[in-house]
Amino acid sequence: MTTAVQPRALRSTRSVGSALADGVAKWGFIAVTVALIAYFALTEPSFATSANVLGMLKFIAPTAIAGLGVALAMTVGGIDLSVGAAAGFAVSIAAYTMVIANQVGGIAIITVLLGGVLIGSINAVLVVVARIPDLLATLTTMFVIVGLKLIIVDGQSISSRMTLPNGTTAPGVFTADYLALDRGSVGPIPIPVIIFVVLTAALWFVLEHTRWGRALYAVGANPEAARLAGIRVRAYRAAAYIGCGLLASIAGLLLGARIGQGDVSAGNSLLLDAVAVALVGVSVLGAGKPNAWGTALGAVLIAVMVTGFTMAGLPYYYQDFGKGIVLLVALLFSFTFSRRRVAVVAGSTASQ
Partner 1 sequence: MTNPISNLRGGDRAVVSLEALSVSYGPNRVLEHIDAELASGEITALLGTNGAGKSTLIKALSGANPQYTGVVRVDGSVVRLATPTDAVKLGISTVHQKVADGIVPGLTVAENLVLSDLAPGGGGLFVGRRSTLARAREVVRTLELPWDDRFLGHDAARLGISDAQLLVLARALRSKPRLLILDEPTSALTAPEVERLFVVLRRLRDQGLAILYVSHRFGEIETLADRALVLRDGRLALDARRPFDWHALLEQMLGRRTDLVLAPVDVRRGTEAVVSVRGVPLLPTSAPIDLDIRSGEVLGILGLIGAGKTELAETIAGARPAASGTLELGGEAYAPKHPDEAIRAGVVLVPEDRQAQGILPGWSVAHNVTVPFLREASPFGVLRRGRETARATVVVDELGVVTAGVDASIDDLSGGNQQKVVVGRWLSGGPRVALLDEPFRGVDIGARREIGARLRRLAADGGAGVLLSSDVDEIIELADRIVVLVDGDVLLDAYADGVGRELVVASLLGTTRADRSVRSADPLPDAESRNEDPA
Interface residues toward partner 1, by CB under 8 A: 1, 3-4, 6-8, 10-11, 13-15, 18, 209-212, 214-215, 218, 221-222, 224-232, 288-289, 340-341, 343
**Residue with Cβ nearer partner 1 (215 or 270):** 215
Task: State which amino acid sits at residue 61.
Answer: A
Cα 292 to Cα 67, 124, 249, 272: the distances in Å are 9, 21, 18, 18
**Residue with Cβ nearer partner 1 (230 or 313):** 230
**Residue with Cβ nearer partner 1 (183 or 341):** 341
* Rounded Cα distance, 231 and 22, in Å: 33
Tell the smallest beta-carbon distance from residue 116 to partner 1 (Å): 23
**Residue with Cβ nearer partner 1 (253 or 344):** 344
**Residue with Cβ nearer partner 1 (8 or 151):** 8
Are residues 339 and 24 in contact, defined by beta-carbon separation less than 8 angstroms? no
Tell the smallest beta-carbon distance from residue 150 to partner 1 (Å): 41
- Alpha-carbon dihedral angle through residues 315, 318, 319, 324, given to the nearest 10 degrees: 170
**Residue with Cβ nearer partner 1 (143 or 212):** 212
Which residues partner with 169 through β-bridges? Answer: 163
Tell the smallest beta-carbon distance from residue 203 to partner 1 (Å): 15
Tell the smallest beta-carbon distance from residue 63 to partner 1 (Å): 28
* Rounded Cα distance, 105 and 241, in Å: 26
Tell the smallest beta-carbon distance from residue 7 to partner 1 (Å): 4
Tell the smallest beta-carbon distance from residue 285 to partner 1 (Å): 15
Residues 6+ apart with CB under 8 A from 140: 126, 132
Tell the smallest beta-carbon distance from residue 78 to partner 1 (Å): 17
Q: How crowded is the C-beta side of 3, counted as CA atoms within 13 Å?
A: 0
Tell the smallest beta-carbon distance from residue 294 to partner 1 (Å): 16
* Rounded Cα distance, 196 and 202, in Å: 10
Task: State which amino acid sits at residue 325.
Answer: I
* Rounded Cα distance, 66 and 80, in Å: 10
Mapping DSSP to helix (H, G, I), strand (E, B) and coil, where does residue 186 land? strand
**Residue with Cβ nearer partner 1 (287 or 302):** 287
* Rounded Cα distance, 8 and 14, in Å: 10
3-state secondary structure 113-146: HHHHHHHHHHHHHHHHHCCCCHHHHHHHHHHHHH
**Residue with Cβ nearer partner 1 (177 or 214):** 214
